[in-house]
Amino acid sequence: MFNAKQKSIDAESLDLIPEKRRASAKSYVMEDILYDEFDELDGTIPEGKKVGDVKKASHTRYTVSWYPEQELEELEARIAALEAK
């Protein structure tokens, strides 16, 4: 098992995930985000909207996770194999 912490990226667009990680990215749907009483207290609700209205519509997001230590070990093994030739 690896001692390093798992790294993760969660993004609204697949383009925001590094190209080498896109193949292992998983998609999911983020539910509607609604204006709430905290938005009302902060005064951030636009005119014509109210608590309970959609702040951000449901949309697809992408996430990918990896262990940097595992990548380093795999890279070191590849280097060792190449050097052994």
Work out the end-to-end distance of the chain between its first and last CA atoms, rounded to an integer number of angstroms.
29
| pLDDT number for residue 3 | 52
User: Is the pLDDT at 22 greater than 80, yes or no?
Assistant: yes
Report if residue 1 sits inside a domain: no
Report if residue 24 sits inside a domain: yes
Cα torsion 15, 17, 19, 24 to 10°: value is -120
Report if residue 17 sits inside a domain: yes
Question: What total of structural domains would you count in the chain?
Answer: 1
Helix residue ranges per DSSP H, 7-67: 37-42
Cα torsion 14, 16, 17, 18 to 10°: value is 120
Report if residue 2 sits inside a domain: no
User: Is the pLDDT at 1 greater than 50, yes or no?
Assistant: no
Report if residue 15 sits inside a domain: yes
Report if residue 31 sits inside a domain: yes
pTM summary value: 0.64
By residue range, what is the domain housing residue 34? Answer: 7-84
pLDDT in tens, 45-64: 999 999 999 999 999 999 99
Dihedral sign from CA coordinates of 65, 69, 70, 76: positive
User: Is the pLDDT at 67 greater than 70, yes or no?
Assistant: yes
